[in-house]
Amino acid sequence: MANEITVNLISGRTIQQGVAIESGKEKPSYRTACGIIEMDPADLKALGAWRNTNVKVTSAYGSVVVKAVEATQGPHPGVAFIPMGPWANSVVSDNTYSTGMPTFKGTPVKVEVAINEPVLLGVELVQKQCGVKVG
Amino acid sequence: MSELIIKNGYVFDPVQGIKGDKKDICIKDGKIVDKVGSSAKVIDAKDKTVMAGAVEIHAHVAGPKVNLGRIYRPEDKLFSCTPTKGMERMGGGASIPTTFKTGYEYAKMGFAVAMEAAMPPLFSRHVHEEIRDTPIIDEGAFPVFGNNWFVLEYLKNQEIENTAAYCAWLLKVTKGYAIKVVNPGGTEAWGWGLNCLTVNDPVPYFDITPAEIVKGLIEANEYLGLPHSMHIHPNNLGNPGCYETTLDTMKIAQGIKPKNKFGREQVLHLTHTQFHSYGGTNWGDFESKAKEITDFVNKNKNITIDTGNVTLDETTTMTADGPFEHHLTGLNHLKWANCDVELETAAGVVPYIYSPSISVCAIQWAIGLEIALMMKDPMRCYITTDHPNAGPFTRYPRVYKWLMSEKARKAQIDSFKHKDKVLSQTVIGTLDREISLYELAQMTRAGPAKSLGLAAMCGGLKPGMDADVAIYNINPDKPVANPDDIEKAFSRCAAFIKSGVQVVSNGEIVNNGNKRTLWVNVKAKENPQVMRDINEKFVKYYSMTQANYEALGHHFVPNPYAIEVDATN
Amino acid sequence: MTKTITDVICPFCGTLCDDVEVVVSDDGKKLLEVANACVIGTEKFLHSQSADRVTKPRLRQEDGSWKTISYDEAADYTAKLLAKAKKPLMYGWSSTNCEAQSVGNEIAEVAKACCDNTAAVCHGTTLIAVQDIGLPTCTLGEVKNRADRVIFWGCNPAHAHPRHMSRYSIFPRGFFTGKGQMSRKLVVVDPRCTDTAKMADIHLQIEQGRDYELLNALRVALKGEWLPDTVAGIPAEKIREAADILKSGRFGIIFFGMGVTQSLSKNHNIDEAIALTKDLNEYTKYSIMPMRGHYNVTGSGEVFAWQFGFPYSVDLTRGFARYNPGDSSSIDLLCRGEVDAVFTIGSDPGAHFPISAVKAIAKVDSVCIDPHITPTSGVSKLHVPVAFNGVETGGNCYRMDNVPIDCRKVVDPPEGMMTDLDFLTMVCNRLKKLKGVA
């Protein structure tokens, strides 16, 4: 039985995210760049997840399936990073506290192993959650 | 194009020496003409005052620091928003109006031309975008030179020709109008958090003094024969005792003769003189030195000034005198914005409340008026508020009221909390002069136009000049019952014609006109050394390429009007 | 034979590099190579040539498929959408030029819309702080020529502004900084050991979300007053060491980003960072600069400000401009269900807004103007592709330090494609007719 852990989620830019958005957000390269969660090795171990396998990330605001990878800019135990994009935004809070700005950095999330669940492509992830019919 | 005739008005035109005669003004194809045909559209100016469109010689209305002021002061828009109405775009801002509102407000007061007082050359594209979006009025912009690395290095070596070549190049690539100098040397020192408070304080590293910068730029200006003179905001602005620095600065101009083909007779224009006329040693013994300053300018006829009148409003100060703004926020603790500009200049912005209950503010108010009242030649003294520094330009009519009515001045003085101090520290209580309508026309039209080298084009109603004509609801034949009527009349003209097209009728905008951007195109001698120096500094020190610095395409200046200057002699 | 176009401006991020060179085919039609741009900029230029571009407007059908329509029909649809809507939201603007932004403002004024730009999810909180406390700043050339102390707080330029450090902040040899990188000390504050932090002289690995406390502690340390043993996970001695480094410079610059604008304290973080900058000016010379994201979000803020008086989140619904972030800001408007039509341009809220706000966009009638296929176009009713600004059309843009640079056109857009400026002008004229306005 797989564990689940709670981590503090932040999101932000990466070079790969930048290149991928210019190539096209409908493409697999966008999912490769942004449909991931970078976790500190200590957190991966606590979770009991293999590197490069899928996990489900859940917050009070939603959930999303992404690929768990080892942190590239660590160590940062307790902090997890999903590059900015629709995967991260499936779980961040829309509460702006009257500033207009959502809290993209600092969302408590639960991460659990979801090895058989697929990571969706960028555009389809958003369309699915919005209930948009795709012909 | 259409013909217009303005009939039955009382005309005040210093260019032709007309002092209130009833005269018809004829307009054809955008110019004043001797006569028009019978099918000309008639505008009846019966019982009204007719003058040429006014000329604003110094205001901060377009550019990065102006917009920084707008961005960081949302509260400036409270209660001052105007909705979209007919052809008027919406507007807002009491001390820093949005660009559409700026154009409309100037036009509604009968202004034809406004000069943006300080353009940081790196930001010329921004200044021109805002000028383009300011409707109706013609505008120009003054690039700043007094802290520019090229100028500092050339003048250190006393290379006037090279300085002039650089100035000509910069005016061309920025489509600028004149050589503006702000806190010479001090703003470069501010790049290290320092300043130059006297004309002899050397600039860190560059080791040149403000006096040398001022002299060199006056000489470069005359070498090129530009339409306007060097236009200066001296060192030490706003400090008690600063009048000495002002006198030291003006002395540099003594003995220098103007050289130009535009009828300009001054070699130095001292701007917002009020801020530079302070005596005393601290805010407690702060006093007016307007007499000392005006005595000097009265005697030295190669100098023109503008007043910089305080209007007793909440406003926003903004200037390329970066260190001064830091000093000001230290005094009033209101939010401070600053931007240092590589190789060129800086800017600072701080809100300010000129409260009539504060003796210093009341004395400042008095100083501005003293200057105008003690200057003997109205053709060399122009009314401004250094908008928005001493007050918004929309308060000009109130300043006219104070100048034209001793009763209005007395009422204001009587209302001051520290009336006695104002009377003891200034001579405002002893001045009974009242500016006449003719003198007002000199101080707001003919005078500034002449100083700018635009005497042939604007500021008057002589046939051949641009048809910029303002009609005010003030009857010179009737004595003024209430001084507030002066303010009311000049706030909203009965009609305003710009370049031959009626743009304002009964205080409302009826046409957006076709504004022009005035700039000075100098044909100068080839100077390979200066061009090499420019190339080198772009490669090594600027953060932008030279080609992109020079890019100022048509979409920035859609209706340019170049004043040609041949400096190749 | 090929042609090399020099002094090209890269239209990706706020660094707005203007030394890019693009090699095009002799007939000027094909973009072959890009030099000097970072990998992201290079991709932007090269991808504009990809064969799979959407080149015609398309309207979503009942069954979810797209139907291709003409620009003419698209302009009609857009004008009608804006004319009909009671409270439309016109969002984005950050990846287009100032001329287009200006026409967009005219449309918003006629349509009585709410208009907003991507500062809403980026440096909007910076703008709020600036409106409270001011902003001592400078141009990037001042950093290049004078700065000997550089702080990156809550930003990761190695990833987000890749050439920033080589063009302006760390490596260049400027007039007073002839030793380049050796002239400067770098302090990085970040909860992760980012690729930027790896270059730092000091990396303060702060507890995420505790920036306010650390900024405040630095202000205290500057004054030499008492500090607790740790603040925000950083030991007091390290805080004092950092304060000494900051204070001992002769020209310092604090660059900051989303780490402080988007974490919980938001504008209060920036307030404190600006206060720290002001305090430092008591000892030496300091400036602070936001690392703006999109290449022309700054421009959108400037154009909004000189035309309407406010830099973002502008509400024109009453016929004059109002501004109240939290009330007039995009995400709040969407999440409260107050918007009945959405017009997006030069941005991708579908990818970068919280999903609940995107659901609100999907619910209403919408137009998305974007050369790319994006999550926004994926949930919009009308997708209008336009020429890539800065590649296929020029126009003025503003860098992160507010310096205006006029982008260049290097190739033509694909046959038949419009620029956003031309499309917006069509929409504006039709909207004015519908509203009976001159």
Residues B326-354 pLDDT 10s: 999 999 999 999 999 999 999 999 999 99
Residues B217 and B163 sit within 8 Å (Cβ to Cβ):
yes
Interchain touch C–B (≥3 Cβ pairs closer than 8 Å): yes
User: How crowded is residue C39: how many other Cβ atoms within 10 Å of its Cβ?
Assistant: 14
Of A94, A123, A125, the CB nearest to C356: A94
pLDDT tens string A27-41: 999 999 999 999 999
CB–CB contact A99 C266 (8 Å): yes
**What is the enclosing helix (H) or strand (E) of B23?**
strand B18-28
Compare all CA atoms of chain B with the CA of C112 and give the residue at the minimum distance.
B84
Q: Model confidence at A73, in pLDDT bands (50, 70, 90)?
A: very high
User: How crowded is residue B478: how many other Cβ atoms within 10 Å of its Cβ?
Assistant: 9
Q: What pLDDT is stored for residue C397 in this prediction? A: 98
Q: What pLDDT is stored for residue B86 in this prediction? A: 86
Contact residues for B112 (Cβ-Cβ < 8 A; gap 6+): B52, B53, B54, B55, B137, B138, B458, B466, B468, B470, B498
Residue B21, min C-alpha distance to chain C (Å):
41
- Residues of chain C with pLDDT > 90, as a percent, come to 99
pLDDT tens string C60-115: 999 999 999 999 999 999 999 999 999 999 999 999 999 999 999 999 999 999 99
ipTM metric: 0.98
What average pLDDT score do residues B475-499 get?
Answer: 96
Domain B52-451 fold is TIM Barrel (3.20.20)
CB–CB contact C176 B341 (8 Å): no
How far is residue C417's CA from residue B119's CA, in Å, rounded to a whole number? Answer: 38
pLDDT tens string C38-68: 999 999 999 999 999 999 999 999 999 999 9
Residue A6, min C-alpha distance to chain C (Å):
15
How far is residue C183's CA from residue C181's CA, in Å, rounded to a whole number? Answer: 5
B553 has pLDDT over 80: yes
CATH number for the domain spanning A109: value is 2.40.40.20
Compare all CA atoms of chain B with the CA of C97 and give the residue at the minimum distance.
B555
C10 has pLDDT over 80: yes
Residue A34, min C-alpha distance to chain C (Å):
11
- Residues of chain B with pLDDT > 90, as a percent, come to 98
Q: Using a CB–CB cutoff of 8 Å, tell me whether C258 touches chain A.
A: yes
Q: What pLDDT is stored for residue C264 in this prediction? A: 94
Structure tokens at B496: 């305003």
Taking a contact as any Cβ pair under 8 Å apart, which residues of chain C between 332 and 391 contact chain A? 332, 335, 348, 350-359, 361-362, 372-375, 377-379
What average pLDDT score do residues C254-261 get?
Answer: 97
pLDDT tens string B292-320: 999 999 999 999 999 999 999 999 999 99
Distance of CA B505 to the CA centre of its chain: 26
C156 has pLDDT over 70: yes
How far is residue C257's CA from residue C154's CA, in Å, rounded to a whole number? Answer: 5
Residues C370 and C382 sit within 8 Å (Cβ to Cβ):
no
Q: Using a CB–CB cutoff of 8 Å, tell me whether C199 touches chain A.
A: no
From the list B399, B387, B470, the residue with the least C-alpha distance to B435 is: B399
Residues B266-302 as b or e (16 or more Cβ within 10 Å = b): bbbbbbbbbbbbbbbeeeeebbbbbbebbebbeebeb
What average pLDDT score do residues C252-280 get?
Answer: 97
How many domains does chain A fold into? 1
Q: How many CB pairs under 8 A join B and C?
A: 193
Q: Name the residue range of residue A33's domain.
A: 4-130
Of C131, C176, C302, the CB nearest to B126: C302
**Model-level pTM?**
0.98
Interchain touch A–C (≥3 Cβ pairs closer than 8 Å): yes
Q: Model confidence at B1, in pLDDT bands (50, 70, 90)?
A: low
The 8 Å CB, 24+ separation contacts for A91-95 are A91/A9, A91/A57, A91/A58, A91/A59, A91/A61, A91/A62, A91/A63, A91/A64, A92/A9, A92/A11, A92/A59, A92/A61, A92/C354, A93/A59, A93/A60, A93/A61, A93/C354, A94/A61, A94/C331, A94/C335, A94/C354, A94/C356, A94/C357
> Does the residue A24 lie in any domain?
yes
B192 has pLDDT over 80: yes
pLDDT tens string C169-209: 999 999 999 999 999 999 999 999 999 999 999 999 999 99
Q: Using a CB–CB cutoff of 8 Å, tell me whether A120 touches chain C.
A: no
Residues B194 and B416 sit within 8 Å (Cβ to Cβ):
no
Q: CA-CA distances (angstroms) from residue B301 to B379, C15, C400?
A: 11, 50, 47
Q: What pLDDT is stored for residue C1 in this prediction? A: 87
Coil, strand or helix at C111? helix
CB–CB contact C156 A10 (8 Å): no
Interchain touch A–B (≥3 Cβ pairs closer than 8 Å): no
Q: Model confidence at B499, in pLDDT bands (50, 70, 90)?
A: very high
- B262 φ/ψ sector (left φ>0, alpha ψ -120 to 50, else beta): alpha
B2 has pLDDT over 90: no
How far is residue B408's CA from residue C169's CA, in Å, rounded to a whole number? Answer: 57
Domain C124-290 fold is Dimethylsulfoxide Reductase; domain 2 (3.40.228)
CB–CB contact B70 C19 (8 Å): no
CB–CB contact B89 C109 (8 Å): yes
C146 has pLDDT over 80: yes
Residues from chain B that touch C405, judged by Cβ atoms under 8 A, are 125, 544, 548, 551
Q: What is the DSSP letter of C357?
A: H
Contact residues for C373 (Cβ-Cβ < 8 A; gap 6+): A24, A25, A26, A123, C54, C383
Domain C58-122+295-435 fold is Rossmann fold (3.40.50)
Count CA atoms within 13 Å of residue C124 on its CB side. 29
Q: Using a CB–CB cutoff of 8 Å, tell me whether A100 touches chain C.
A: yes
Residues A111 and A7 sit within 8 Å (Cβ to Cβ):
yes
Letter for the amino acid at C424? Answer: L
Of B130, B540, B543, the CB nearest to C168: B543
| Chains touching chain A, criterion 3+ CB pairs below 8 Å | C
Residues from chain C that touch B203, judged by Cβ atoms under 8 A, are none
Structure tokens at C137: 């700043």
> Does the residue A49 lie in any domain?
yes
From the list B364, B409, B407, the residue with the least C-alpha distance to B389 is: B364
User: How crowded is residue C336: how many other Cβ atoms within 10 Å of its Cβ?
Assistant: 10
CB–CB contact C302 B67 (8 Å): yes
Distance of CA B146 to the CA centre of its chain: 17
> Does the residue A135 lie in any domain?
no
Strands B31-33 and B18-28: antiparallel
Residues from chain A that touch C293, judged by Cβ atoms under 8 A, are 13
Residues C7 and B548 sit within 8 Å (Cβ to Cβ):
yes
Residues from chain C that touch B126, judged by Cβ atoms under 8 A, are 302, 398, 402, 404
CB–CB contact A100 C351 (8 Å): no
Q: What pLDDT is stored for residue C290 in this prediction? A: 98
Per-domain residue ranges of chain C:
3-47, 58-122+295-435, 124-290
A2 has pLDDT over 70: no
Count CA atoms within 13 Å of residue C34 on its CB side. 25
From the list C279, C210, C211, the residue with the least C-alpha distance to C243 is: C279
Q: Model confidence at C152, in pLDDT bands (50, 70, 90)?
A: very high
How far is residue C71's CA from residue C418's CA, in Å, rounded to a whole number? Answer: 8
What average pLDDT score do residues C221-246 get?
Answer: 98
How far is residue B197's CA from residue B242's CA, in Å, rounded to a whole number? Answer: 9
Coil, strand or helix at B485? helix
Taking a contact as any Cβ pair under 8 Å apart, which residues of chain A between 70 and 89 contact chain C? 71, 73-76, 79, 81, 84-86, 89
CB–CB contact B98 C309 (8 Å): yes
CB–CB contact B341 C139 (8 Å): yes
CB–CB contact A123 C313 (8 Å): no
User: Which stretches of B160-214 are assigned E, i.e. beta strand?
Assistant: 180-182
Q: What pLDDT is stored for residue A135 in this prediction? A: 80
Residues from chain A that touch C63, judged by Cβ atoms under 8 A, are 133, 135
C284 has pLDDT over 60: yes
Of C192, C195, C378, the CB nearest to A127: C378
Compare all CA atoms of chain B with the CA of C317 and give the residue at the minimum distance.
B83
Q: Model confidence at C438, in pLDDT bands (50, 70, 90)?
A: low
A1 has pLDDT over 80: no
Coil, strand or helix at B153? helix
Q: CA-CA distances (angstroms) from residue C360 to A8, C94, C354, C363?
A: 27, 21, 10, 5
Q: What is the DSSP letter of B276?
A: G
